[in-house]
Amino acid sequence: QASQEDLRAAYRRLCMLYHPDKHRDPELKTQAERLFNLVHQAYEVLSDPQTRAIYDIYGKRGLEMEGWEVVERKRTAAEIREEFERLQREREERRLQQRTNPKGTISVGIDATDLFDRYDEEYEAVPGSSFPQIEINKMHISQSIEAPLTSTDTAILSGNLSTQNGTGGGSINLALRRVTSAKGWGELEFGAGDLHGPLFGLKIFRNLTPRCFITTNCALQFSSRGVRPGLTTVLARNLDKNTMGYLQWRWGIQSAMNTSIVRDTKTSHFTLAMQLGIPHSFMMVSYQHKFQDEDQTRVKGSLKVGFFGTIVEYGAERKISRHSVLGATVSVGVPQGVTLKIKLNRASQTYFFPVHLTDQLLPSAVFYATVGPLVIYFAMHRLVIKPYLRAQKERELEKQRESTASDILQKKQEAEAAVRLMQESVRRIIEAEEAKMGLIVLNAWYGKFVNDNSRKNEKVKVIDVTVPLQCLVKDSKLILTEASKVGLPGFYDPCVGEEKSLKVLYQFRGSLHQVMSADNEALRIPKQ
């Protein structure tokens, strides 16, 4: 937001500070020339309205984007943003050929009813019957990949295999999707399997208005019993900024009408649904609370009532690493019994383990399904996950330090050179501030501070930035904007990839003051 006058004033001040002719020492003169050239390059970018707009929006990566040389001069910031996005789209299209976007699901059903539903008289005469029998009774595996053919056409190949109690089958599907316009797309699907005959389908998506869309899916399933047609239509509308309403009509196998309202905000997710159909009619309400913590913890509960009975579910999920989310849900129903569902999402892969504990409503099964996963999770988190993540973070930081070592060394040398070049100017500033009892920076440190007892084993990594900050004092004021302080003259990064702060001890009107601010936090001293 700085005006051209502000830029020129800052440019003149830094030129006076770094001008090679002001330094007689050969070493200082060489360092001054290098810093003077950097300041000149920065001023060239910021004094040109076009390059400044690019830099303000996208930073250095915007200036390095190929294709700007053909852009017409004297464009507005909005036009430059559009041009940048166009260039980005072209680059993304070049990457399309290598992107397959794989998605997969593995589900393993476990029958553990022997833990709770045993009848002692049946086991007395059987050797080894004191041990409950736990077995896998069903499995499902599905996988899909996408192959972009052009910027508007995509081929999708998917397949699945299922087995339950020793019998099962699979199918394979090929879909061709074309984006017809900004408002819609269409998809043709062909499939075949060993349990069912060929499948032909057509799916169409269309935005009717900016707040309303419709999806229609038609299918023809061929089998030994003849052709079974199916049609599903979904009409959706934005009721407000965070709320969607859906109407669904399904005709064919298991015909039904369904209506639902979904409200999704930053802290919660609420769903209300009702279905009338053959054979299932039900009403369902669910609520999920999203905690605003680092692990993105969520707790959820739902109630579903229908012709099949009543089901109550409750559970939680939590992020355990950068790409992994672990969740557990307890399902208690009549007549379904008690089931513990464990789910792990790892990038685009989902692993699902439903463990059926009992066919009856037993308090002991509900208790162990609730407490057991919590105890195991917290034990695993403390003994395995946390140490692993800490070691992984250390490896990444070490890798980042090694990759940026030469660049950081250069920045450190530039910062040290800048501090040496500032000494004379800082001496004059201090003399002027002392004369009017103004702002004098006594000590300033920048980097990683450790104040928490739980982190007492970590090493403090700070650098002295007293001289650079004093050099920025003007008219007894020090003003720093909302940006990383790494880029300030005389600063460099003492702890790559770690959280940094600035701590300043200063004197104003003869009184001592201390202030601490986060790396990207604005700072204005003296405080009012």
- Render pLDDT for 269-287 as a digit per residue (tens, 0 to 9): 999 999 998 878 999 999 9
Q: What is the pLDDT of residues 87-143, one digit of tens each?
A: 777 766 656 545 677 889 999 999 998 888 765 445 455 555 567 788 899 999 999
What pLDDT, in 10s, does the model give residues 206-223?
A: 999 999 999 999 999 888
Q: How confident is the model at residue 421 (pLDDT cuts 50, 70, 90)?
A: confident
Over residues 47-77, the pLDDT tens digits come to 888 788 778 777 777 777 655 544 544 456 6
pLDDT of residue 69: 47
Q: According to the model, what pLDDT value does residue 95 have?
A: 63
**How would you classify the pairing of strands 349-358 and 103-111?**
parallel
Contact 513, 528 (CB under 8 A): no
> Is residue 496 a contact partner of residue 408, using CB atoms and an 8 Å limit?
yes
Give the mean model confidence (pLDDT) for residues 400-417: 83
Q: With H, G, I as helix, E, B as strand and everything else as coil, classify residue 325.
A: strand
Residue with tokens 């349990």: 195
Extract long-range pairs of 185-190: CB within 8 Å, 24+ residues apart: 189/219
Out of 12-16, 159-163, 401-405, least confident range: 401-405
Mean pLDDT on 494-513: 89
Mean pLDDT across the chain? 86
| pLDDT (0 to 100) of residue 129 | 56
This prediction has a pTM of 0.64
Q: What average pLDDT does the segment 218-242 reach?
A: 91
d(C-alpha 272, C-alpha 263), whole Å? 9
Helix (H) or strand (E) holding 363: helix 363-380
Q: Which domains does the chain have, with CATH numbers?
A: 1-47 (1.10.287.110), 103-110+135-253 (2.40.160.40), 406-525 (no CATH)
- Distance in angstroms (rounded) separating the CA atoms of residues 153 and 179: 7
Flag whether pLDDT at 19 surpasses 50. yes
Instruction: Say what the pLDDT of residue 248 is.
Output: 96
Instruction: Give 299's pLDDT tier (boundaries 50, 70, 90).
Output: very high
Residue spans of alpha helices (H) in 96-185 = 120-123
| Radius of gyration (C-alpha) of the chain in whole angstroms | 33
Q: Which residue has the higher pLDDT, 279 or 8?
A: 8
pLDDT at position 386, please? Answer: 83
What's residue 341's pLDDT? 95
DSSP conformational letter for 279: S
- Over residues 265-271, the mean pLDDT reads 94
| Gap between the Cα atoms of 406 and 507, Å rounded | 37
Q: Across-strand partners of 144?
A: 103, 158
Nearest to 46 by CA among 89, 1, 83: 1
* Pairing, β 167-181 against β 153-164: antiparallel
Q: What average pLDDT does this structure show over 466-492? A: 88
- Of 57, 23, 20, 54, the C-alpha closest to 40 is 20
What pLDDT is stored for residue 457 in this prediction? 57
Angle at 86 between CA 85 and CA 88, to 5 degrees: 60
Beta-carbon contacts of residue 493 (< 8 Å; ≥ 6 apart): 408, 411, 486, 500
Q: What is the pLDDT of residue 289?
A: 95
Q: What are 147-199's pLDDT values in tens digits?
A: 888 888 999 999 999 998 888 899 999 999 999 988 999 999 999 988 778 99
The answer, yes or no, to whether residue 202 has pLDDT greater than 90, is: yes
For residue 197, the model assigns a pLDDT of: 81
